[in-house]
Structure 1
Amino acid sequence: MPLLVMKFGGTSVANLDRIRRAAKRVGVEVAKGYDVIVIVSAMSGKTNELVGWVGETSPLYDAREYDAVVSSGENVTAGLMALTLQEMDIPARSWQGWQVPLKTDSAHSQARIEEIGTERINTKFAEGMKVAVVAGFQGISPEGRITTLGRGGSDTTAVAFAAAFEAERCDIYTDVDGVYTTDPRICDKARKLDKISFEEMLELASLGAKVLQTRSVELAMRYKVKLRVLSSFEEQSDEAGTLVCDEEDIMESKVVAGVAYSRDEAKMTLVTIADRPGIASAIFGTLADAGVNVDMIVQNVSELNYKGHEGGVTDMTFSCPVDQVKRAEKALQDAQAAGKLDFDKLESETNVAKVSVVGIGMRSAAGVAAKMFKILSDENINIQVITTSEIKISVLIERKYMELAVQALHDAFELDKAE
């Protein structure tokens, strides 16, 4: 039988009525002749509640017990979904990660999938089961302990199952009806895309778009899993939602496909450090060891050189999530105290935001950067840091101008108009 993977996020299974609505969607696909693997998240808000309980019980908690507690939300949803389907006379069974088994490494709370066993579920399909309801977000470590995959891990679970079982498609049901050219809450001209390439979606996800988890898009791109993002609250058709697919499956692409933003950014600058081989390694190795996620990096000519002092010094600027600033400051100051780094001062700015334009069409189009910078200049928005790749341009600006920048770029690149 053809196989379909359907993933329902927390808002789609937030209560029993929504679980019944989701089960009806599964029933439609079963009636079409599909065997279905349903991946479910915990009910909306439940994971946060469980995380809060863990922190209240043990501030310095054992990560293995954290996973045991936090993974339980998905177990509840999986069981309720299976029961609901059974009430609809659809043969269904719930599966926890260890029962599949979904094997991961031992990195509790941030585990990575290593292998998914297909034999047990395929055997049950052969025996007449029509739907396997799998608890997302969880697996089992080599030591036999429950692991979790990190926030958004149910998306990754769904794509991994689609790859392992060679599913025809992986449908991700959420509270939005597809992928938009930008956030509709910021720009009322935002347009839903019918199709978007894996590479564009990966960039948008990593740059702040919250529709899909980055790791799930990476997996889909690697294993060529067709993804469809749909709303669980609207009537569906075969053309509903947004298809995330290979670039070759898209006839024509706009130069820019979308505008992404990240509000919670910070800019940090190490002033007057030695300009010598190995200094970048020392700085960013220190930050990596402290678990700081560095993004944009710019090396500047130090003020000392401008003023005619002897050379050999530079400034280093980088961006990171605003909630990691304190961790970064401590790591760099400790490294200085230990004699591993030498700098005059460390400056931190937490009132910045990152705005990016993304599009595979940028590979063959000149002048995108110039146009973007002119648009921001016309709005009197100062650019603090710039980074580029083959299909994206990102800038760091003052946070108060973020929404204005998103709207101006969306209008200037005419993203409200279909190709």
Structure 2
Amino acid sequence: MAACCWVTNFFDLSEKLTKVAFFPHAMINPEITLDLISAIFKKFTSKNVPKIRAWSNGGQQYTATDELLADASKQLCLYERLVRATRSENFCVTLNGLSSWCEIFTLEMQTKILQPLFAQLEVPPVAGVDFYAFFGNYGFTPFGAHDDIDESFLWHLGPSKKIAYVWPRQIYEKLTGHTRATLSYQNILTAAKKFELNPGDLLFIPKGDFHVLETQGFSVTLGLTLFPNTPERECEAGLRLLAPNFKTLSLVGDKNLKINELIKLRKLSLESNGYIISAPQLLPQIKAISVVDTLHGLSISTREFFPLRQIRIAGREALIVRRRAIWAKQNTLFSSICNYLNTSIPAPYPKIMEDLSKYGDQKYISDVLIKVHALGGLSIEEY
């Protein structure tokens, strides 16, 4: 996907994210992205459960997640997996948080979609973004014509085409007399803006516009959500990081805390994950001794697009890595690690240990780097 193919004219065509806009051939080689998404279904485990919703046979299918977990290790094509999971050849499945499952996919999206989009927006969305996908050959969207509270970008990946019907909010209200979702939309389809999506095409739907999609053959559509900012979202996300359980809550329960500190904590966590709200799946548990032995022959820096962040809040210190926080007593090591590694200049592990030794003993520094590595925060190369 070349940025100039869609971002350059994006704001003009969508009138600064206020009007529906269609961008043919926005994605080059959509089948590559489709393959990356298909491979995600092999990574599901009982400890890493996907955010799945499924519909078939006229209703929501609540056992689909269990079936996908059971089939994760089997050699099945994507269509076969979803047919088995929904027990139907006519189904609709949604998967949220795509970027948490595949680092290759995440880096591709950062390079080809998010960074060009953020440059056009001039500032990244303060509430964050996330990727999801629609799978199926469900006819019309099973939950009917509806609106979303956020901006929606839909890149169609194929293999079959998809039809989108969109009603600007005022027109939908005039036609129906209300602004609620409905399953009774057949008589107003002719009044909708109709778009035929082929593999690689992009459709932008502004928040509040009503829409329904139609498929007659199996296809996959990649979605990007720009979340709206609210005070509740600002504070809740920060509080989840500060006190994810009762044990940590007891440590900060009687500490002085400002609302703006929670907001800053949440903002730093978004920056640490390239403004994507879904953190990457945790790496399998690794033995510290093997990691240290391995790192001795490698150069280390932060990962592109994912800087480390640090904050002192409620009497504690946080090193923020890919939307997760490593908490400790107040110290100078965390800020020093950020300053050292965020230069994006790889440094040999022994030199890092030597340069940071004045901020703590080597075992403690090593333990922190191992945790950062386990959270997906380090880029490691041979030197």
TM range (shorter): under 0.3
**TM-score, length-normalised on structure 2?**
0.24
**TM-score, length-normalised on structure 1?**
0.23
